[in-house]
Structure 1
Amino acid sequence: MNSSLAAALQVCVVVVVLTAAYVPLGDYMARVFSGGRDLLPERLLYRLARVDPRREQTWTGYAMAVIAFSFVSVLFLYLLQRCQGVLPWSDGRAAVSPAMAFNTAVSFVTNTNWQSYSPELVMSNLTQMLGLAVQNFLSAAVGIAVAVALVRGIVATKGDGRLGNFWVDLIRATLRILLPLSIIVAIVLLTQGAVQSFKSGFDFIGIDGRNGSSVVGPFASQEAIKELGTNGGGTLSANSAHPFSNPTPLSNVVEIVALLIIPVCLTRTYGTLVADRRQGLTILGVMATIWAGMLAVMWVFESHTNGVAAQAAGTMMEGKEQRFGVAGSVLWAVSTTGTSTGAVNSAHDSFSAGAGGAMIWNMLLGEVAPGGAGTGLYGMLVLAIIAVFVGGLLVGRTPEFLGKQIGRHVITMAALSILVMPVLVLVGTAITVILPSTKDFQGNGGDPGTPGSIHGFSEVLYAFASAANNNGSAFGGLTVTSDWFQTSLGVAMLLGRLLPIIFILAIAGLLATQKTRTTTTATLPTHGLLYGGLLTGTVLLVAGLTFFPAMALGPIAEALS
């Protein structure tokens, strides 16, 4: 089977499965967050946490709950890592260093899962399961909860500013959506040969007669929620390229579907909750257009052999798994950088300069195609509000979004939420590349003006784009174990997660205080091809105008050199 046919078949399988799940899963998630009946385990958790599930919160109360929960989670995960050496089931692993523990705690709580360590060498099974895997569920649930709160603000008719209850949304997203889906995906991965063990490893004798050892652990269960929650942090250094976590081409496709399915189906949830399915289809159409465009661009770059080794082999297979090939690697790379997942089944640093730049660009778009679990939907809705505001002003129509006026305060909050990521990426990259202490950590370096030093800049740009967008993937040539990288990237992850959430909940609160207005002929429609084109242009222009100079200094210059 040639590579083009393999690529087409894999894309078709992914699209068909997502299409089949779109309506039932999307409508199910809408029922989860609109129904009033609590399940028995939920009632027990509410009672244990002393939460009144019927008490709704304003945007300030909702935001304070998110921030408080996040900081308590960071503290717990930090202490768990620092005490790892004296805890049971430590597997001989020592305590994690303070800087690395801080970076990792922030990383997993913010749904970034940036890993500056080798998981099988640093983290015990207890830390993996009690700390990191738990945050894979909870951080994804936080993103979904914030997206639902924003939708509630858009459709609110009472004008009392209430957005629901964060604790109810968090628990329902975890127990009713993430947990059942992760069990299904884990079972499928087990049938393909993924490892699920509570042992720390085993010894063996190789075919050459030498003694060896291999690390094992609860890989299948953590791989499932790693993808479903758009987390990305693996239990092995090779991440999803390792056969213990991703053994076959079929498991590879299953995991790609897993990392796309919740962000895609949430657009149906949105359309159902606002009682206008055309709204959700328009958002989905924009996401699909950008995703397909990025897939085509990366496939073109990777299908052309560049360099002596690639030309001799006849394909760009350096850094890619034989089991997946170029097609499976490109499909995964586009999906993981477009969903804030960050999991990898190939070495992103080994992609061509053009494809590597496309991955950076995919993150710098704000990861809204289709984005992370919840984060993709609320990120796209903020851009939709900006698009309707700009479009309404251009054509002289009232800037309204689903019956809610987009005034000065709303657009200010929307602009601030959009500006957080560019500031973190550009300031962090600028400071890092000029610090004398970080120059030696930039891999593949060289004299100023050479392709090597250009790639070093691309590696730093990728790192801060990944951290600020809560993605977690990286170019492997950059060493990030110094205190500067641990701290600066940790701060970028924390601010890149919490500041947009605060501004987005403020938007939800402002919209929830308004009465829904009657749509007239003077109102700009927010569905259909015309508005979809306007929204697509807004997404591309916001990133294009902001990041083109930085892209020109790194990936573009490298591709042209």
Structure 2
Amino acid sequence: MSPVLAGALQLLALMAALALVYRPLGDYMARVYSSDKHLRVEKWIYKAVGANPNTQMRWPAYLRGVLAFSAVGVLFLYLLQRVQGSLPGSLGFQSIDPDQAFNTAASFVANTNWQSYYGEQAMGHVVQTGGLAVQNFVSAAVGIAVAVALVRGFARSRTGELGNFWSDLVRGVVRILLPISLVAAVLLVACGAIQNFAGIHEVGQFTGGVQEWNGGAVASQEAIKELGTNGGGYFNANSAHPFENPNPLSNLLEIFLILVIPFALTRTFGRMVGSVKQGYAILGTMVFIWVGFTALMMWTEFAHSGPAFDIAGGAMEGKETRFGIGGSSLFAVATTLTSTGAVNSFHSSYTGFGGGITMLGMQLGEIAPGGVGSGLYGMLIMAIIAVFIAGLMVGRTPEYLGKKIGTREIKLAACYILITPTLVLSFTGLALALSTPPDSITNTAANAVGGSGAHGFSEILYAYTSGANNNGSAFAGLNADTQWFNTTIGLAMLLGRFLPMVFVLALAGSLAEQKPIPATSGTLRTEKPLFTGLLVGTILIITGLTYFPALALGPLAEGLAS
């Protein structure tokens, strides 16, 4: 079988699996967030934290819950790393330095999982399981909760109440993330991923000598890192490591986990607003972009010239032979079009255009299908922008799902789409500006990049794109373990995660207060393919106008030169 055909068959199998679970999972999540009943274990949790799950919150209260919970998470994870050397199960590893501990705490709480450390050489069992894995669950649940609050803003009227943050958070973990990740962990173990609490042991090498390896609760963390679109790997090689991702079957399973909740949430959205067709329109937009990016990635990586490329069947540098170009391309697009950031290959080793595709996927806002929760609310913000543009074309006040998009709503949506580009481009420019002279005490880009010219620029641009968009993947050549990058990328991750949530929840509150507007003959039909096309065009044009100059200096220049 040719590598191209194998890649196409993997894509078709993945689409079939996602289509099979789309309806039941989406409907189930709609019931979870619409039910008035609480499970017994949930009541215990509410009692332990002192929360009343039946209290309805307006958007300021909901936001305070999000920020307070996340702030406690950052502080707890930071302190856990700082005292690691005194904890049992530390495997002899020392406590984490302050700047790296801040970066890691910000990363996992912000659902980014950017890692400036070697997991198997830095983090003991307690930090991995009691700190990082826990945040993989709760940070993902926070994202879903904010998305559900925005959906309620569309579904409700004449009230500013968006639900209860604590109830949404607990239900997301207990009823959705935990059950699915448990099944996924068992399947990963069956595929060959490890799951233990073994210490460090020595393994002989074929070339002589020994290498030290440690075990860990890898399969369980691998399951939630993909399912929650988190992405942090137990080992430095991430999902390219055979202990995390042993074979092509586990590779497809992990890609499935990355995509399943973000896609299914469009069904949840349709159910909760009372029109599944509206959910299909959002789904169609996501699928069109995802399939298009996957096809482009496979084309640029399979396209080759010269004897070495002919023998390998394409650009195999930085890719595992057990996955090949097809499995690597599928994973790379899935992980960068969502906020996952897990990798089964080194994106820095992709062709110039291939690296640009991964970067552009993040710069879209990771909305096709995006992270758990964040992908849906990001796409809904883009839908609001699209109906506003359509309204300008025909001279009519824009409406979406029976709600007027007035001055307040469009200002909030505009602020949302401006945050991450501002963070990405500002931090990238600042890092480059402070890189002269090379021995600068700031220890910024001049001392950290592994490449030169366009590729070196791409490494820095990719890092801040990944951080601000809460992705977490990296171009492998960048040494990000410096005070400068640990601090600035940490700030980019926190600001890129929580500032958009402020505008999302404020928008949800504004929409929930409105009186529904009946549809008329002049109302834009947002459930039709025409709107899907308008939405795709809006996304690509906004992203292109924002990032094209920077992309032209990095991956485009590198691709054209090769």
Cross-structure match for 2:35: 35
- Answering whether residue 478 of structure 2 is matched by residue 472 of structure 1, we say no
Aligned equivalents of 2:516 and 2:484: distance in 1?
49
**Aligned ranges 1:153-552 → 2 under 5 Å:** 153-157=153-157, 159-206=158-205, 210-305=209-304, 309-310=308-309, 313-435=312-434, 436=436, 437=440, 438-445=444-451, 452-552=452-552
What is the count of residue pairs matched by the alignment?
Answer: 554
TM-score by length of 2: 0.97
Contact kept in structure 2, 1:252 and 1:324, CA below 8 Å: yes
Cross-structure match for 2:103: 103
Identify if the C-alpha distance between structure 1 residues 73 and 444 changes in structure 2 by more than 3 Å, giving closer, same or farther: closer
**Most deviating of 528-537 and 431-440:** 431-440
**Structure 1 position 312, deviation (Å):** 5.7
Aligned equivalents of 1:324 and 1:291: distance in 2?
20
Identify if the C-alpha distance between structure 1 residues 114 and 212 changes in structure 2 by more than 3 Å, giving closer, same or farther: closer
Identify if the C-alpha distance between structure 1 residues 130 and 306 changes in structure 2 by more than 3 Å, giving closer, same or farther: farther
Q: Deviations over 1:391-450 (max 9, x none)?
A: 1121233311111111100110000011000000110111111212424334344xxxxx
Contact kept in structure 2, 1:442 and 1:460, CA below 8 Å: no
Aligned equivalents of 1:207 and 1:118: distance in 2?
23
Please report the RMSD computed on the Cα atoms of aligned residues, expressed in angstroms: 1.3
Identify if the C-alpha distance between structure 1 residues 240 and 156 changes in structure 2 by more than 3 Å, giving closer, same or farther: same
* Letter matched to residue 351 of structure 2: S
SS at match of 2:212: strand
Q: Deviations over 1:182-235 (max 9, x none)?
A: 001111111111100011233344566744432211100000000000000000
Cross-structure match for 1:556: 556
Contact kept in structure 1, 2:22 and 2:264, CA below 8 Å: yes
Cross-structure match for 1:139: 139
Aligned equivalents of 2:331 and 2:525: distance in 1?
35
SS at match of 2:201: strand
Q: Deviations over 1:467-501 (max 9, x none)?
A: 01000000011111111111110110000000000
Identify if the C-alpha distance between structure 1 residues 305 and 506 changes in structure 2 by more than 3 Å, giving closer, same or farther: same
Contact kept in structure 1, 2:397 and 2:406, CA below 8 Å: no
Identify if the C-alpha distance between structure 1 residues 211 and 456 changes in structure 2 by more than 3 Å, giving closer, same or farther: closer
Aligned equivalents of 2:275 and 2:255: distance in 1?
29
**Structure 1 position 309, deviation (Å):** 4.6
SS at match of 2:554: helix
* Letter matched to residue 105 of structure 1: A
SS at match of 1:9: helix
SS at match of 1:214: strand
Identify if the C-alpha distance between structure 1 residues 91 and 38 changes in structure 2 by more than 3 Å, giving closer, same or farther: same
Aligned equivalents of 2:446 and 2:208: distance in 1?
40
**Structure 1 position 519, deviation (Å):** 1.2
In the alignment, structure 1 segments of 5+ residues that lack a partner are 446-451
**Structure 1 position 52, deviation (Å):** 1.0
Percentage of pairs with the same residue: 55
Cross-structure match for 2:58: 58
**Structure 1 position 367, deviation (Å):** 0.4
Contact kept in structure 1, 2:449 and 2:460, CA below 8 Å: no
Aligned equivalents of 1:207 and 1:388: distance in 2?
61
* Letter matched to residue 515 of structure 1: K
Contact kept in structure 2, 1:398 and 1:524, CA below 8 Å: no
Q: Deviations over 1:58-88 (max 9, x none)?
A: 0000011101111110000000000000111
Aligned equivalents of 2:85 and 2:305: distance in 1?
47
Aligned equivalents of 1:387 and 1:490: distance in 2?
32
SS at match of 1:202: strand
**Structure 1 position 515, deviation (Å):** 1.5
* Letter matched to residue 65 of structure 1: G
Contact kept in structure 2, 1:125 and 1:200, CA below 8 Å: no
Aligned equivalents of 2:39 and 2:83: distance in 1?
35
Contact kept in structure 2, 1:194 and 1:243, CA below 8 Å: yes
Identify if the C-alpha distance between structure 1 residues 549 and 260 changes in structure 2 by more than 3 Å, giving closer, same or farther: same
Identify if the C-alpha distance between structure 1 residues 383 and 209 changes in structure 2 by more than 3 Å, giving closer, same or farther: closer
Cross-structure match for 1:449: none
Aligned equivalents of 2:307 and 2:84: distance in 1?
47
Contact kept in structure 2, 1:306 and 1:352, CA below 8 Å: no
In the alignment, structure 2 segments of 5+ residues that lack a partner are none
TM-score by length of 1: 0.97
Aligned equivalents of 1:362 and 1:12: distance in 2?
21
Cross-structure match for 2:22: 22
* Letter matched to residue 98 of structure 1: P
Aligned equivalents of 2:208 and 2:404: distance in 1?
74
**Most deviating of 425-434 and 254-263:** 425-434
Aligned equivalents of 1:309 and 1:117: distance in 2?
33
**Most deviating of 551-560 and 299-308:** 299-308
**Most deviating of 395-404 and 465-474:** 395-404
Aligned equivalents of 2:479 and 2:209: distance in 1?
32
Aligned equivalents of 2:49 and 2:87: distance in 1?
26
* Letter matched to residue 213 of structure 2: S
Aligned equivalents of 1:310 and 1:128: distance in 2?
39
**Structure 1 position 89, deviation (Å):** 1.3
Contact kept in structure 2, 1:441 and 1:480, CA below 8 Å: no
Contact kept in structure 2, 1:310 and 1:316, CA below 8 Å: yes
Aligned equivalents of 2:105 and 2:306: distance in 1?
40
* Letter matched to residue 267 of structure 1: T
Contact kept in structure 2, 1:137 and 1:178, CA below 8 Å: yes
Identify if the C-alpha distance between structure 1 residues 484 and 208 changes in structure 2 by more than 3 Å, giving closer, same or farther: closer
Aligned equivalents of 2:48 and 2:74: distance in 1?
21
Contact kept in structure 2, 1:349 and 1:477, CA below 8 Å: yes
Q: Deviations over 1:239-291 (max 9, x none)?
A: 00111111110000000000000000000000010110110000000000001
Contact kept in structure 2, 1:286 and 1:536, CA below 8 Å: yes
SS at match of 2:27: helix
Contact kept in structure 2, 1:444 and 1:453, CA below 8 Å: no
Cross-structure match for 2:3: 3
Cross-structure match for 1:85: 85
Aligned equivalents of 1:225 and 1:209: distance in 2?
36
Aligned equivalents of 2:23 and 2:417: distance in 1?
30
**Most deviating of 175-184 and 200-209:** 200-209
SS at match of 1:17: helix
